Chain A
């Protein structure tokens, strides 16, 4: 569910790194939002052109497809930062202390393993479409207007690299909490009960946060 959980802050290096990464993540998420907003105008423009001026927009589908990775993936780290990616927290919501941190640490490390692999794989996908010996460095082009696809493919490893950095910070945060037996560690989204989460969700909708 959308709605941010609490991420505590203090003056430690970890927390400072967390707050350094946050503006970048937020900027990426805003890019996603702006891309969605542009999508709306693009469709209005295209329909108006088609219906009223008999001049449909050339390459409409190509541009939308090129924008989709920005919309869908750019903000992935921002969402991970505050724990918005959904999960079933029946079990974790009853865990406390070190056991909870251990679970969270394992979970984050596994996600890190996946994302590092995907960053590599997504980079390879970009790399296959990129060759600067060619016009516009393009080795893969869109179907209608032939625009290069590599910029859109590059979005993915870029976003995943930021997510990897975020996951490393969270792993350190949970690891530290596990070792020191902390109750309220910084730089990680704190587990909320479903009810607490719902309350935050409702408040965020009412624009009160």
Chain B
């Protein structure tokens, strides 16, 4: 029988949603158009309510970011801890996969009637900024930065003030001086126009990234016919591969974009990064583990899992 799924994402079609689009395409292909996905960009829900929508059964698949609502998804915020040392998207996929498979993560998502399907891997969130380039920790003091989740905490740890205007408002917030700097992945700097406001970009600060899983409604998933479920499951890796290839292309163009927009590429000195890491990474991680353990979640175990998965991926 024909199955039609509604999929809730937001913004407009961009590198960040390419795996979802690819998944829809592959599933339809493999089932001769019997299983279709209707990807809606904001028409079905606000992004911060996507997990609620899944829980209700309003739509069958959705994307969201862990940092939007930490208390909804405490477990996977481990992936947003600053300075985990993830170097590329392949490693990001590997660590996400490991955490998503952990019972604590599946159980917490099951409370929302959600099953983690795949991540939306993103490169490290580097800063674009206006005015003088900020190159030392003292430059970060009092800096108004658009950064969410663990990255926001990291900047707060060195005296900056995270201000989470939504991604769509980031451009105007920068123009209006509500924020001086915006931490985004490269595709978002392009699609939300923050690169057009910028005079500099930190090439190597690499403070961390956000984690944005794609989830499916468990009831909808389980009521799929074996053939359709197989079509879905078997398309996940292929969709991620497509996403990675597409993103690699975008990163390849990045330097020329910087040159074209006349944006200075700032290399932060190693000792500054080391100092930043010491001030932000360790205390925030320890705090996070303590907080999770206090709530009965295996914080230490999850962190160790990330470290191990990352080490494996780097081999």
Residues 22-67 of A at the B interface (beta carbon under 8 Å) = 50, 54-58, 60-62
Interface string of A118-161 (1 = CB under 8 A from B): 00000001001100001100111111101011000000000000
Contact between chains at A143 and B71 (CB < 8 Å): no
CA distance A148 to B71 in the complex (A): 8
Instruction: Name the prevailing secondary structure of the A interface residues.
Output: loop
Contact between chains at B72 and A139 (CB < 8 Å): yes
B280 CB → nearest A CB, Å = 16
Asked, given contacts A125-B52, A128-B55, whether A61 binds B163 with beta carbons under 8 Å apart, the answer is yes
Which of A56, A146, A148 has most chain B Cβ within 10 Å? A56
Residues of B within 8 A of A146 (CB): 70-71
Residues of A within 8 A of B144 (CB): 50, 56
Asked, given contacts A139-B72, A141-B70, whether A55 binds B163 with beta carbons under 8 Å apart, the answer is no
Contact between chains at B71 and A61 (CB < 8 Å): no
A48 CB → nearest B CB, Å = 13
Residues 159-206 of B at the A interface (beta carbon under 8 Å) = 161-165, 177-178
A161 CB → nearest B CB, Å = 21
Residues of B within 8 A of A56 (CB): 142, 144, 161, 163
Closest residue of A by beta carbon distance from B162: A144
Interface string of B287-307 (1 = CB under 8 A from A): 000000011000000000000
Instruction: For A61, give its contact among B68, B70, B165, B177 (CB under 8 Å).
Output: B165
Asked, given contacts A55-B142, A56-B144, A125-B52, whether A144 binds B163 with beta carbons under 8 Å apart, the answer is yes
Instruction: For B148, give its contact among A57, A60, A125, A143 (CB under 8 Å).
Output: A143
Which of B67, B72, B165, B177 has most chain A Cβ within 10 Å? B72
Residues of B within 8 A of A129 (CB): 71-72
Residues of B within 8 A of A57 (CB): 161
Instruction: For B69, give its contact among A54, A55, A134, A141 (CB under 8 Å).
Output: A141
Instruction: For B52, give its contact among A54, A60, A128, A134 (CB under 8 Å).
Output: A128
Asked whether any CB of chain A lies closer than 8 Å to the CB of B82, the reply is: no
Contact between chains at A134 and B55 (CB < 8 Å): no
Asked whether any CB of chain A lies closer than 8 Å to the CB of B123, the reply is: no
A117 CB → nearest B CB, Å = 14
CA distance A128 to B71 in the complex (A): 11
Contact between chains at A143 and B67 (CB < 8 Å): yes
Contact between chains at A60 and B71 (CB < 8 Å): no
CA distance A198 to B128 in the complex (A): 53
Contact between chains at B52 and A143 (CB < 8 Å): no
Residues of B within 8 A of A50 (CB): 144, 177-178
A137 CB → nearest B CB, Å = 10
Contact between chains at A135 and B163 (CB < 8 Å): no
Residues 58-89 of A at the B interface (beta carbon under 8 Å) = 58, 60-62
Asked, given contacts A58-B161, A61-B164, A144-B163, whether A138 binds B71 with beta carbons under 8 Å apart, the answer is yes
Which of A60, A135, A144 has most chain B Cβ within 10 Å? A144
Contact between chains at B295 and A135 (CB < 8 Å): yes
Asked whether any CB of chain A lies closer than 8 Å to the CB of B121, the reply is: no
CA distance A138 to B199 in the complex (A): 40
Beyond contacts A134-B295, A143-B69, A149-B69: 12 other A-B pairs, Cβ-Cβ < 8 A, are A50-B144, A50-B178, A56-B144, A56-B161, A128-B52, A134-B71, A141-B70, A141-B72, A143-B48, A143-B164, A144-B148, A144-B164
Chain B contact residues, CB within 8 Å of chain A: 48, 52, 55, 67-72, 142, 144, 148, 152, 156, 161-165, 177-178, 294-295
10 cross-chain pairs, A with B, having the tightest CB-CB distances, nearest first: A141-B71, A143-B164, A144-B164, A54-B142, A138-B71, A56-B161, A56-B144, A140-B69, A140-B72, A141-B70
10 contacting pairs across A/B (C-beta < 8 A): A50-B144, A54-B142, A58-B161, A129-B72, A139-B72, A141-B70, A143-B164, A144-B152, A144-B164, A148-B71
Chain A contact residues, CB within 8 Å of chain B: 50, 54-58, 60-62, 125, 128-129, 134-135, 138-144, 146, 148-149
